[in-house]
């Protein structure tokens, strides 16, 4: 048959089984790593959504002072126009 002694074949088989066990461990570790990466990807997606929401909120906050300023300016203009119109009406009534 073959010139390899049985003891040597047993040793080779033992080595092969040990190699397979190590590879099984590596595959299990890769599976765990894959699950962890999927979780991290989901967390990154959630962080992106939160950052986008924060940007929108920040832009709204930036616009609020501008809107207040515009409101104040429009009210001052209305007041000035009202005073001018009141003066015009009083002058017309005094004549």
Alpha helix locations (H) across the chain?
6-94
Report d(CA 65, CA 51) in Å as an integer. 22
Two tokens, residue 28: 């299990």
Quote the Cα angle for 8-14-19, to 5°: 125
Q: Confidence class of residue 2 from pLDDT cuts 50, 70 and 90?
A: low
Report the range of poorest mean pLDDT among 7-11, 26-30, 43-47: 7-11
In a 13 Å sphere around the CA of 93, the CA atoms on its Cβ side amount to 6
Q: Confidence class of residue 21 from pLDDT cuts 50, 70 and 90?
A: very high
Could you report the per-residue pLDDT of 52-75, keeping only the tens digit for each? Answer: 999 999 988 887 777 788 888 999
Q: Alpha carbon 18 to chain centroid distance?
A: 45
């Amino acid at each position: 048959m073959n010139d390899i002694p049985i003891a040597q074949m047993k040793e080779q088989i033992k080595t092969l089984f040990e190699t397979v066990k190590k590879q099984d461990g590596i595959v299990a570790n890769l599976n765990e790593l894959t699950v962890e990466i999927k979780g991290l990807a989901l967390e990154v997606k959630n962080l992106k959504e939160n950052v986008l929401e924060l940007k929108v909120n920040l832009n709204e906050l930036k616009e609020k002072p501008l809107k207040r300023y515009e409101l104040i300016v429009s009210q001052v203009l209305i007041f000035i126009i009202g005073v001018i119109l009141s003066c015009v009406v009083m002058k017309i009534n005094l004549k």
